[in-house]
A and B are shown apart, each in its own frame.
Chain A
């Protein structure tokens, strides 16, 4: 089967790529578009390292086909910062040392942003439930939760 042409909007820019029809969006983003912030941990929906938003909804890009993105809007971790200015979540992750190896971080940032868009003032429990689809083998989660709380606080001030 030949590749198909997909027209999509990624982080606000119109992007076109050609991909085989059985390729995952995770692979299309990494290998065709060069957005390597999207990580593959498991490839089966369990770890959340490949998290993106698709038309505003948080999804695992490993469980979406590349062809499904046609005509849709995608946000990846590369779209979080405003030019050189980091997003408050990115700043607080650094301040609170909420990462070690960093493989899980892009997914956590995207999932945390989706959570805060919906709920600007989440409790610790709500943060832990909201991020239950993201696994981290390094930090033990506490620092991540604290970073999200701190970012939420800063974002509410604006």
Chain B
């Protein structure tokens, strides 16, 4: 295996495109090195992106917040401004693993690993995040929900690298939240999870996005669940409709963490609780 540590995105893309064998991007390595250790993959080339300046910073621009692909989740948690603007996204990212894992892992690695239970992904979907993808010929900006296509599968073409995540500008009177359920308090994979972002106008929900984790082959954006609460003040009837829409949308599996029945029911409970937190954060009563 050959290890490269380029200093520009363009160089990283060139290295990945030129390689004839199996080439992988290395961000925090908390998925990649585990897969190497378990002999699930045998890379010929590993391209470390942590030396690329454009991927290392968190910047606020006129159109929102740009988070470099190599920024660790620990750094997200230390960024007071980001925590205040997108608390749901940061709380999701900070749920990943232990302090040791936090010091290395990234949201883009979480996304590209494409686990149905990836914690940061539903929160990013709810936040209407986009990713900047750089390929050999062009650079494109794509909605986050277009990236994961199946367990371990993404829509990225060979040689393409994600350079950054773009979070939109936070409108006034809006809030987000993410909750996951695990049987212990730390260090476990989500049984179910829910991310919600919503915007209020005079106490009434004007728009919303609801995304669920670990209840289907990919994290799910559920427009029907968002419609269930838009136009409401998040009264009990709206919360009931939200829970029903979430339970309806999920196509979970039975495994050691939970049964289909259990996941289908608990996803509604989590969505209701996350919606209440987001509503409160948006300034709703």
Enumerate chain A interface residues (CB-CB to B < 8 A). 1, 4, 20-22, 24, 43-46, 48, 51, 54, 57-60, 62-65, 67-68, 111, 114-115, 129-130, 132-134
A130 touches which one: B2, B26, B99, B101 (CB < 8 A)? B99
- Minimum CB–CB distance from A126 to chain B (whole Å) comes to 11
Interface code B9-28, partner A: CB below 8 Å = 1, 0 otherwise?
00000000000000000101
Complex CA gap A24/B74 in Å reads: 22
B2 touches which one: A1, A62, A114 (CB < 8 A)? A1
For A64, list chain B residues within 8 Å (CB): 29, 33, 104
Q: Does B46 contact A (CB under 8 A)?
A: yes
Q: Does B1 contact A (CB under 8 A)?
A: yes
| Residue in chain B with minimal CB distance to A51 | B100
Q: Is the CB of A63 within 8 A of B3?
A: no
- Minimum CB–CB distance from B2 to chain A (whole Å) comes to 6
B33 touches which one: A21, A58, A62, A134 (CB < 8 A)? A62
Complex CA gap A67/B4 in Å reads: 9
The interface residues of chain A, by DSSP majority, are classed as mixed
Q: Does B98 contact A (CB under 8 A)?
A: yes
Complex CA gap A130/B2 in Å reads: 35
A63 touches which one: B1, B33, B72 (CB < 8 A)? B33
For A24, list chain B residues within 8 Å (CB): 33, 37
| Residue in chain A with minimal CB distance to B104 | A59
Residues of chain B from 14 to 66 with CB closer than 8 A to chain A in the complex: 26, 28-30, 33-34, 36-38, 43, 46, 48, 50
For A57, list chain B residues within 8 Å (CB): 72, 74, 103
Q: Is the CB of B1 within 8 A of A1?
A: yes
For B1, list chain A residues within 8 Å (CB): 1, 20-22
For A46, list chain B residues within 8 Å (CB): 187
For B231, list chain A residues within 8 Å (CB): none
Interface residue total, chain B, C-beta cutoff 8 A: 29
Q: Is the CB of B104 within 8 A of A21?
A: no
Q: Does B203 contact A (CB under 8 A)?
A: no
B100 touches which one: A1, A21, A22, A111 (CB < 8 A)? A111
Q: Is the CB of B3 within 8 A of A45?
A: no
Between-chain CB contacts (< 8 Å), 28 pairs: A21-B1, A21-B3, A22-B1, A22-B46, A45-B30, A45-B34, A45-B101, A46-B187, A51-B100, A54-B103, A59-B100, A59-B103, A60-B100, A60-B104, A63-B29, A63-B30, A63-B34, A63-B101, A64-B33, A65-B3, A67-B5, A68-B5, A115-B99, A129-B186, A130-B99, A133-B99, A133-B187, A134-B98
- Minimum CB–CB distance from B113 to chain A (whole Å) comes to 13
Q: Does B159 contact A (CB under 8 A)?
A: no
Q: Does B6 contact A (CB under 8 A)?
A: no
Complex CA gap A129/B48 in Å reads: 30
| Contact of A65 with B33 at beta-carbon distance under 8 Å, contacts A133-B97, A133-B98, A133-B187 already known | yes
- Minimum CB–CB distance from A8 to chain B (whole Å) comes to 14
Q: Which one of B30, B34, B98 has the highest number of Cβ atoms from chain A below 10 Å of its Cβ?
A: B98
| Contact of A133 with B101 at beta-carbon distance under 8 Å, contacts A63-B30, A64-B29 already known | yes
For A68, list chain B residues within 8 Å (CB): 5, 48, 50
